[in-house]
Structures are given as C-alpha cells and as structure tokens.
Amino acid sequence: MIASLSVKPVCGEQPTFDVYEGQRTMLPVIRLPLDLPVYRMANARTQTEQLAYIAEKNGPANYFEAGQDNEEAQQAQHNILRGFANATAGSVKPIIEELERTKQTEPIMITPSGVVVNGNRRLTAMRELYADRKAEFPTFAEVECMVLPPLTDEQIDDIETRLQERPETKLPYSWINETLKIRRQLEKKSKKETDIADMRRKSVGDIRKSLSALNYAEIYLRDWCGAPGDYRLVEKGGEQFFSDLVPRLKGKEGPLLEANLRMAWLLFDNRDSLGGRIYNFNKVLGEKAEHVLAQLAERLDVEDEQPEDADGEIEDSMEIDLGGETHANDYAPLLALFDNPQRRDEVFDELKAVCQTVLDSGAASKVGKAALRAAQDANTRLTEIDLSTADPNTHAGIEKQLDEIIHRATGLKSKLQEIKDSAGHTSSSGN
C-alpha cells in the first residue's frame, strides 16, 4: 500500500536534509489511515521507559525489540509515548497541546514498511486526540507521512541522531537515553568515537566522559539501589552529578574508592533536600575524601567498633582523633555503616555536617583564619571527653594520647611564639 501510494503521492514531495549525510533529498508525502503506521521500538527516547516496563512486568529482555509487529507491544509503546506527548521542556508546551491548537503542520517520517522514524510523539498525540474527541479532529483520521527510501538500521539510527541534534528540536532526549544509544553504537562497532562525536557536535572527550558517567550511574542503581536498569532513578539531576564523579574519582582505588562512592550515593539519594549544595559537597568528597572519612568516622564513633586484643582489652594504640587522616585499611567499619539501610539517615546527617564544615574551613582559610578554626575544633573535641564514663581498660590508652596532645600543643605554642617574635622584630626594624 505504501509503495503504491509513494509512486504518485497525493501530497507531492518535500525536501529533507537529514537522510544521506545531510544531502538534499526529495521524498514523497502521502496520507495513511491513523492506525496504520507502527511505532519504532528502537526509538532512543523511550529506552529507559522500556527497560522499566520489562522489569515491572518481568518480561523478556527483547520484549520491545522483538515486538515491532506485536499489537500488545505496540500498545505498551503507545502508553510510554503518551507520557512524552504530554511532557514539557522548559517553556516548550506539550506536543499534544500544540497539535490540539495547530493540527498537523508537518509530516511524520516513515520507512517503506510504515515504521515511524521521526514523529512517534506526534502520532501518539494525534491518536489520543482522535480517540477522545473524534468530532473535533476529523482530519486526524489520516496522517501525513514522508516516506523514506529503503535504509539499513544503521542509516535509520543516523537519521534519528541528526534530527535530534537540530537546534529546533523541542523535547531533547534524556542524557541516559542519549548515552545508551552511543554505547550501543560503539558495542556494535558500527561507528567510531570520532564519527559519533562529530554527529553530536561534541568532542571525543565529551563522549568518553558521558560513558563513564553512565557507568557510575549503573553502579549506583545496581549496587546501592538494588534496581539495575531502572534508569528513571538517575535521569533527574543525574547528568551533572555523575559526570562530576568522573574526574573526582580518577586515580582512586580499593577501599578509598568504595568509601568515596558510598558517600556520593548518599548525597545523590538526598539531592532534593540539598539543592545546589550537592555539587559543592560532591567536590569536597572528590578533593578531600580521606579527610572527610576521618571526620565522619569520629562523628559516628567508629572507633567503638575496633577489635579487642587477646585479653579482651581494647589495644592501647587507640587514638583520640584531632582531625587526622584515616588509613585505607580502617574503612571497613565505615563501609559497613554505609551499607546498613537503617543507619543511612544518620550517616547522611553527619556527612552533610562534615562537608559543610570543610567548606566553611576552606572559606576561612582564604582570609587567614584556618589555623584558628582548627585550634578551636581541637579544643572543642577535648572538652567533649568525659573521663568519668571511660572504661578502666582504656585509661592507659587515654593517658598516652593526652601526653601526645600536650606534646603537640607545647610545640605549637613554641612555634607561634617564634612567629610572633619574628613579626615583632620585623615591625621594629621597619620603624
């Protein structure tokens, strides 16, 4: 039917610049019954929703891929697209409202077999409006279609990408759907990184960073949320957050990397309450992860979980932490706290406090007050020590630590006096 109509198209021909590497191509435009075109299941826009549907229905992984001609799968795809037909993007109104006001102003693009390459949302909106208010939209009984010549799947993919990258595209793909498509193209080896970057007007570095961000998002979904493949959880607010992790986790490995990831996951879980602060906190974790972990361990009393020696006593090597760094081997108790769902709210509250303290300290250092802030923090920690509740088995360890504190404080006072004397000498010499 489509082939015969294309020979003498009732709507004539229209030019397109999006078929063969941007070459001008004249394509026939025909009218088809509204129910004849079929949705393209490989539509990159709907990937995350398809995966979520399969997970919810416990369906086969290829449910949509193999369901191009399946009425049930087509209906499921229609339901997914209905959400996009009603979606907004900034000041852009939903496509269903546009069609309600202006009717169909440009043809959808289909293959010779009737598969929609461009215009899936418009077709969905037209079907919804016609089904609900047939009398108001009689022209929607048919849909204008621009018919492509026979093309390979790869060529159709390229057309979709070029159309999506046009400045006038109204509803952009989510970062997840875009990156999933890039990864699929690379896995099929159908395109080189440079080709993909050029087509999207990006650099190869941008492409690689997006893929790494997707990898971190998938780790978050799988290992932290226990919801592998449910990309809906990371679409909102995830692009910048996971992209920021790429340079900030570079070079980290082992327990430090595991702890850093868990701190990041906690921040992302609570992104709505943090607002814009999440990006500053994420930066702190990247630059000062060991310091943050040390402070967090102290606030959460992680030292209370240290192993006892052979006599059942806590070893004298215990420390009263004045803000030093935690060694990688000491992260196990912290990791256990992160992984305990019942403690996550508590851990997040302390993590937020530590991150804010680090940020405040950084601001203070810019005006020369970092040393004073550190001395005040150390003094506060000392005033919090309650010896009356100390286990007798810890007395020796406490005494050892207090001797060390006195030694450090004496050394710092001597150094401070030297600086003051030097400053006074310089001042008098200047006079």
pLDDT in tens, 167-209: 554 566 789 988 998 998 888 877 788 888 888 888 899 999 9
Strand, helix or coil for residue 316? coil
Dump strand ranges (E) for 111-249: 116-118, 142-147
Report yes or no on 162 lying in a domain.
no
Q: How confident is the model at residue 321 (pLDDT cuts 50, 70, 90)?
A: very low
Dihedral angle sign, alpha carbons of residues 193, 196, 200, 201: positive
Do both 414 and 310 map to the same domain?
A: no
**Residues 175 and 182 sit within 8 Å (Cβ to Cβ):** no
Return all residues near 9 (Cβ < 8 A) that are at least 6 apart. Answer: 28, 29, 30, 147
Check residue 326 and report its DSSP letter: P
Do both 363 and 403 map to the same domain?
A: no
Per the structure, the count of domains in the chain is: 4
Do both 11 and 141 map to the same domain?
A: yes
Do both 403 and 319 map to the same domain?
A: no
Q: How far apart are CA 65 and CA 166, in angstroms?
A: 26
Structural domain harbouring 280: 252-384
Which of 225, 248, 271 delimits the end of a domain? 248
Q: Give Cα separations from 373 to 333, 368, 416 (angstroms).
A: 28, 10, 15
**Residues 94 and 59 sit within 8 Å (Cβ to Cβ):** no
Dihedral over alpha carbons 50, 52, 56, 60 (to 10 degrees): 50
Report yes or no on 166 lying in a domain.
no
- The pLDDT of residue 94 is 83
- Residue 28 bridge partners (DSSP): 13
**Residues 181 and 47 sit within 8 Å (Cβ to Cβ):** yes
Q: What is the pLDDT of residues 374-393, one digit of tens each?
A: 788 788 778 888 888 888 88
Do both 212 and 270 map to the same domain?
A: no
Report yes or no on 169 lying in a domain.
no
**Amino acid (1-letter code) at residue 41:** M
- The pLDDT of residue 212 is 94
Q: How confident is the model at residue 49 (pLDDT cuts 50, 70, 90)?
A: very high
Do both 309 and 431 map to the same domain?
A: no
- The pLDDT of residue 224 is 94
Global pTM reads 0.63
Strand, helix or coil for residue 161? helix
- The DSSP result for 63-101, as a single string, is TTTT-TT-HHHHHHHHHHHHHHHT--BTTBPPHHHHHHH
Mean pLDDT of 402-412: 90
Do both 21 and 115 map to the same domain?
A: yes
Q: What share of the chain is helix, strand, coil (3-state, %, to 5)?
A: 60, 10, 30
Which of 369, 384, 399 delimits the end of a domain? 384
Do both 228 and 260 map to the same domain?
A: no
Q: How far apart are CA 31 and CA 48, in angstroms?
A: 32
Q: How far apart are CA 373 and CA 244, in angstroms?
A: 29
Q: How far apart are CA 315 and CA 92, in angstroms?
A: 65
Do both 6 and 54 map to the same domain?
A: yes
The Cβ of residue 327 has, within 10 Å, a number of other Cβ atoms equal to 12
Report yes or no on 165 lying in a domain.
no
Do both 101 and 214 map to the same domain?
A: no
Q: How far apart are CA 216 and CA 233, in angstroms?
A: 13
C-alpha of 121 from chain center:
25
Average pLDDT value for the chain? 82
Return all residues near 159 (Cβ < 8 A) that are at least 6 apart. Answer: 18, 19, 109, 117, 118, 148, 151
Q: Which of 100, 99, 104 is nearest to 11 (CA)?
A: 104
Length of the chain: 431
Do both 97 and 144 map to the same domain?
A: yes
Which of 187, 215, 248 delimits the end of a domain? 248
Q: How confident is the model at residue 76 (pLDDT cuts 50, 70, 90)?
A: very high
Report yes or no on 161 lying in a domain.
no
Check residue 381 and report its DSSP letter: H
Report yes or no on 85 lying in a domain.
yes
Do both 192 and 121 map to the same domain?
A: no
Report yes or no on 204 lying in a domain.
yes
- The pLDDT of residue 370 is 64
Q: Which of 83, 76, 55 is nearest to 225 (CA)?
A: 55
Q: Which of 161-175, 227-241, 322-336, 414-428 has the highest mean pLDDT?
A: 227-241
Q: Give Cα separations from 37 to 83, 117, 155 (angstroms).
A: 19, 10, 19
Report yes or no on 157 lying in a domain.
no
**Residues 281 and 271 sit within 8 Å (Cβ to Cβ):** no
Rg from Cα positions in the chain: 31
- The pLDDT of residue 312 is 45
